[in-house]
Structure 1
Amino acid sequence: MITIRRATCDDAADVHALIHGLATHQDQAWGLTVSVEDLKRLLARPQVGYLIAERDGAAIGYVSWLQRVSFWSGQDYLHLDDLYVIGAERGNGVGELLMRAIAEAADGTVIRWEVAETNVAAQRTAGFCRPPPNPPRPMGGAGLQRRPRFVVPPGRRPVRADGRRRPGGHRRTARRGGVGTAAARSRRAPARMG
């Protein structure tokens, strides 16, 4: 049976082992400089959160976060630092349980998490999906409309956000020949000072 609980200072050695596991998994063990004693101090801070997943008393994963404040909204939020599950437990739903546990611990507070685009497993665990396409809408001027955004699902040719294949394979960022294209920007005269 899997249990999830808040880590305490007494769990510093297990926390260190899990962090080392993540660093090794990401081929970044060389960058891990935190000690067990450092972790004891960090886990005592009120703005640091750390949940450990255990199976039969053995640590098998964790999720860690820091409490922060947004200067834009003036509201607190949780910055999810890491989500990690040991190799033998991946695919058993431990990551999802940890994500549900942090959502419960957040109690309605916004959670922010930056995930590498190449980390598809984490995106799947967190339930991330590509944003829905924006419908065309006027952008100013006579008849100017926003073009649909292009997305590239892993392992596929480029497609439009509405699901239709796009000819070619290059990335278009704006209307062909329009003001926003790279070609048009390169034709602009430099701004003059004074």
Structure 2
Amino acid sequence: MTSIHAITASDHDEWKALWAGYLTFYDAEIADDVTEHTFGRIVDDAELHGAIARDEQGRAIGIVHWLTHAATWSTGSYCYLEDLFVAPDVRGGGAGRALIAHVKGWAEHHGSAKVYWLTQEGNDTARRLYDSMAVHTGYTHYQIAL
């Protein structure tokens, strides 16, 4: 059975390996200092939050990061699930579902009005999971790099 725990400083090396897998999946490169800064912010658990999934043997198999922000359409905050990654060799085993459920439970406990996230259109495997747990809103994402 998959267990989910808050990311702590002692998870650094396992987290970093999963983070690297996530970045590879999205063909992204992030400077080492940004990665280390991100990890520190997650461990601080103030503005960024994170959890790590472990299998029955205690091996780290997945990570999730999220944050909350004020919203104009609600008196509560919105919870943005920013990063979700499960090791390829265990996908389909429930870790992704458990990580999303963890964020949902956290958001409910902290008074958020909703949890939302983005993914690439062609990420079919993940989208099958997401379609079983959430509503696809039909919105298209735009951004301006600064």
Band of TM-score, shorter chain? 0.7 to 0.9
Deviations 1:141-191 (A, max 9, x none): xxxxxxxxxxxxxxxxxxxxxxxxxxxxxxxxxxxxxxxxxxxxxxxxxxx
RCO higher in structure (CA 8 A, sep ≥6): 2
What is aligned with 1:114?
A: 118
What is aligned with 1:65?
A: 66
- State how far apart, in whole Å, the 1-side matches of 2:91 and 2:82 are: 19
- 16-25 or 104-113, which moves further after superposition? 104-113
Q: Does 1:97 align with 2:101?
A: no
Report the Cα offset of residue 84 of structure 1. 0.7
What is aligned with 2:52?
A: 52
Q: Is the 8 A contact 2:2 2:94 kept in 1?
A: no
Deviations 1:5-24 (A, max 9, x none): 11123322222221111111
Report the Cα offset of residue 37 of structure 1. 5.9
Query: What does 1:1-194 align with in structure 2 at a 5 Å threshold?
Result: 1-28=1-28, 30-33=29-32, 34-36=34-36, 38-55=38-55, 56-107=57-108, 109=112, 110-126=114-130, 127=132, 128=134
Q: Is the 8 A contact 1:7 1:51 kept in 2?
A: yes
1:21 alignment partner, SS class: helix
Q: Is the 8 A contact 1:12 1:39 kept in 2?
A: yes
Residues 38/85 of structure 1: CA separation in 2 closer, same or farther (3 Å cut)? closer
- What number of residue pairs does the alignment pair up? 131
Residues 67/9 of structure 1: CA separation in 2 closer, same or farther (3 Å cut)? farther
The structure with more radius of gyration: 1
Identical positions, percent: 30
Q: Is the 8 A contact 2:66 2:81 kept in 1?
A: yes
Q: Is the 8 A contact 2:85 2:96 kept in 1?
A: yes
- State how far apart, in whole Å, the 2-side matches of 1:12 and 1:67 are: 23
Letter of the 1:112 counterpart: Y
More helix by share: 2
Listed as ranges, the gaps of 5+ residues in structure 1 are: 132-194
Q: Is the 8 A contact 1:62 1:98 kept in 2?
A: yes
Residues 73/59 of structure 1: CA separation in 2 closer, same or farther (3 Å cut)? same
